[in-house]
Structure 1
Amino acid sequence: MELNSVSSTSSGRASSPVVPSPPAENLPATNKWVRGLAVASLVANIGIVVTGGAVRLTASGLGCPEWPLCTPDSLTTTPEMGIHGVIEFGNRLLTFVLAAIAFGMVFSVWKIRAERRDLFKLSVALLAGIPAQALLGGITVWTGLNPWIVGGHFIVSMVLIVLATVLVNRAWLSPHQLGTTNGPLATRSLRPLLGALGIASALSVLLGVVVTGSGPHAGDHGAARNGLDPDLMTRLHVVPVYLLVFALAVALYLVYRHATDGRLRSSLLLLTVVVLIQAVIGYTQHFLHLPIVLVGLHMLGASLLTAAAAHVVFTGFSRQVPGTDPAARPAGATASRRG
């Protein structure tokens, strides 16, 4: 006999059907504060790259000519520093926002640090990166915006974005996924391609930093450049970009040709979208002679590219990946109920 989905009450009225809740093993193992702060950490680390780019692109890099003070006699900007002082000091203040998020993240995982050492270590690493970045920022001021120091400052931000991306992924693991012993989602033939994607992305960002150091946006009208030929550096910069696009095309072909976990397909599609947008912005800014708005968007794109590439590598190589395969059948699904 077919089972009724609605039960009757003693008064003869039908009660509402019970909506099943998702299995506990599919729910994230961390609370909403941990997950929210992990996302905030990633957003803040990307955001401070963009605001730092605004400092350089508006020639405000020496708006505060001293560090850690803004002037020899003042911690804050003064009216004499003008708009450049406001922009530079504003970027310095954002470091405290980043620090507050990092401290909040460490505090939120403190009680579970024994069972979630992964989250605790990542949180501490992100917190430690803030004073390291602040010191590098001070060195850039002391050296009059040396392009190599400025580039190192940017690269450290990319490393922090990678750590924050891993933190977000691991914060969303469910109890079941935390205890999994499954192998990586990427097949043996796909893993070298994912490794190539990560390397090509890193080289693209590194050479992009060198191109920037040879270009016109020095952060201050009197700041030195690295002395390299901008056109030659640009041509070298696009080589790993072409390799990245080629590796992406092959990887997408493989994941759609063979049965692959939907989480890996989604991460590759996200990286593809970011790469295509970044390529369009890069070519456009080059042929329009580097307008500051497009250069700023390109810096944002570099941050998003770093995060997307880190997400792909994590998803393909990690044995613990959050989420469920969209192509998979829901757990507990059965054919049809029979009485």
Structure 2
Amino acid sequence: MRRIRSVKPSVRFPVSASLLRRLAFASIIANVAIVVTGGAVRLTASGLGCPTWPRCTDGSYVTTPEMGGHGVIEFGNRLLTFAVGIIALAVLLAVLARRPRPRGLLPLAVAVFLGIPAQAVIGGITVLTNLNPWVVGLHFLASMLVIAAAYALWRRTVEPDGPATPTVPAALRTLALVTTLVGAAVLVVGTWVTGSGPHAGDQGAARNGLDPEAISQVHADGVFLLIGLSVALVFAFRAVGAARATRAAVVLVAVELGQGLIGFVQYFTHLPAALVAAHMLGSCLVLLAALAVLWSTRERRPVQPTPDPVPATEPAPAAA
């Protein structure tokens, strides 16, 4: 007699498109938040609140009462890294479980997830080098790269899974790319300005040796160039009737003007900590707005189903 084997149904955990979008958006918010809290560590001179890494002290992974408020602030920022990593892991697991999975989504999820420990290691190096200003700047720029990857991931979750087609002429796509690259250069020079200024993260931390006034002028010149390119995008997009791209460019100009205003006020008021923190948040917003403009120059359309082939009809028999 033939034995019938029972087959257990496979267990699946479906992930809806809306859940994946929410997780991806939460990853953007979390990565922006850790930039701001990292700035709070530096602005409160708590950069060496935990004087070593990966431990907080030579004998403890957590802060101790003797380390006071600086230790609490620095250790709290380290704990937030775990929270950001948990969100990135949740996004990665959701992408793996998603069926059907949009093309290109998995590499982005992996990049964001691996970017968190990479950024944490660079943060540890900043502590081990006693807050070397160049390493501190690299730590900030690494966070910007993770935010950019998280944004690309989120945009991929809200787009249909069709091919990307341009919505503006090639010259304007190039102008949008150049504007984004200039924005990235402004961020890099901004870290040089920070490295020359008074907020070192600790009273004994070194500065990069650049003249604060001269490098601030270079940074301001870059900002003027960025705003000029962004305004040009607004008029160019409007001229070709690209409404979505025009809206994105208008938002970018508004964010840049707000960020520029904060930058000028903080410079002429001798860099109060609250305004410096707001400027760091503004840097993240400028990056996101510039990426939104870049994405607005093309769109994905749903894949049209291939029609079934029409069966060939046999010819009618000839009349006798």
Q: TM-score, normalised by structure 1?
A: 0.82
Q: Which moved more, 1:158-167 or 1:217-226?
A: 158-167
Q: What amino acid does structure 2 have at the position aligned with 1:189?
A: A
Q: What amino acid does structure 1 have at the position aligned with 2:189?
A: L
Kindly indicate whether the alpha-carbon contact (under 8 Å) linking 2:233 and 2:246 is maintained by their aligned counterparts in 1: no
Matched, 1:186 2:159: no
Q: Measure how far apart 1:189 and its partner are.
A: 3.0
Q: What amino acid does structure 2 have at the position aligned with 1:236?
A: V
Alignment partner of 2:166: what SS? coil
Q: Deviations over 1:295-335 (max 9, x none)?
A: 0000000111111111211222x44289xxxxxxxxxxxxx
Alignment partner of 1:189: what SS? helix
Moved over 6 A (4+): none
Pick the aligned partner of 2:249 from 268, 277, 280.
Answer: 268
Q: Counterparts of 2:18 and 2:119 in 1: how far apart (Å)?
A: 28
Residue in 2 aligned with 1:237? 219
Kindly indicate whether the alpha-carbon contact (under 8 Å) linking 2:148 and 2:288 is maintained by their aligned counterparts in 1: yes
Residue in 1 aligned with 2:266? 285
Percent sequence identity is 48
Q: Which moved more, 1:118-127 or 1:104-113?
A: 104-113
Residue in 2 aligned with 1:64? 50
Q: Counterparts of 2:91 and 2:186 in 1: how far apart (Å)?
A: 31
Q: Measure how far apart 1:180 and its partner are.
A: 4.0
Residue in 1 aligned with 2:156? 170
Q: Counterparts of 1:297 and 1:76 in 2: how far apart (Å)?
A: 29
Residue in 1 aligned with 2:286? 305
Q: Counterparts of 2:39 and 2:301 in 1: how far apart (Å)?
A: 33
Q: Counterparts of 2:99 and 2:92 in 1: how far apart (Å)?
A: 9
Q: Counterparts of 1:203 and 1:106 in 2: how far apart (Å)?
A: 30
Q: Counterparts of 2:20 and 2:220 in 1: how far apart (Å)?
A: 38
Alignment partner of 1:47: what SS? helix
Matches within 5 A, 1:73-112: 73-112=59-98
Matched, 1:203 2:185: yes
Matched, 1:51 2:37: yes
Kindly indicate whether the alpha-carbon contact (under 8 Å) linking 1:169 and 1:321 is maintained by their aligned counterparts in 2: no
Matches within 5 A, 1:20-39: 31-39=17-25
Superposed CA RMSD in Å reads: 1.7
Kindly indicate whether the alpha-carbon contact (under 8 Å) linking 2:108 and 2:149 is maintained by their aligned counterparts in 1: yes
Gap change, CA 1:60 and 1:113, over 3 Å in 2: farther
Matched, 1:116 2:102: yes
Kindly indicate whether the alpha-carbon contact (under 8 Å) linking 1:145 and 1:219 is maintained by their aligned counterparts in 2: yes
Q: Counterparts of 1:254 and 1:30 in 2: how far apart (Å)?
A: 38
Gap change, CA 1:30 and 1:258, over 3 Å in 2: farther
Q: What amino acid does structure 2 have at the position aligned with 1:196?
A: V
Kindly indicate whether the alpha-carbon contact (under 8 Å) linking 2:88 and 2:109 is maintained by their aligned counterparts in 1: yes
Q: What amino acid does structure 2 have at the position aligned with 1:297?
A: A
Q: Counterparts of 1:63 and 1:276 in 2: how far apart (Å)?
A: 35
Residue in 1 aligned with 2:201? 219
Matches within 5 A, 1:312-331: 312-316=293-297, 318-320=298-300
Q: What amino acid does structure 1 have at the position aligned with 2:113?
A: L
Q: Counterparts of 2:63 and 2:252 in 1: how far apart (Å)?
A: 40
Q: What amino acid does structure 1 have at the position aligned with 2:229?
A: A
Kindly indicate whether the alpha-carbon contact (under 8 Å) linking 2:95 and 2:101 is maintained by their aligned counterparts in 1: no
Q: What amino acid does structure 2 have at the position aligned with 1:301?
A: G
Kindly indicate whether the alpha-carbon contact (under 8 Å) linking 2:162 and 2:301 is maintained by their aligned counterparts in 1: no
In the alignment, structure 2 segments of 5+ residues that lack a partner are: 1-14, 303-320
Pick the aligned partner of 1:259 from 230, 236, 241.
Answer: 241
Kindly indicate whether the alpha-carbon contact (under 8 Å) linking 1:214 and 1:226 is maintained by their aligned counterparts in 2: yes
Q: What amino acid does structure 2 have at the position aligned with 1:238?
A: A
Q: Counterparts of 2:255 and 2:193 in 1: how far apart (Å)?
A: 20
Kindly indicate whether the alpha-carbon contact (under 8 Å) linking 2:163 and 2:301 is maintained by their aligned counterparts in 1: no
Residue in 1 aligned with 2:126? 140
Q: Measure how far apart 1:194 and its partner are.
A: 0.6
Alignment partner of 1:190: what SS? helix
Q: Counterparts of 2:71 and 2:251 in 1: how far apart (Å)?
A: 38
Give the length in aligned residue pairs.
288
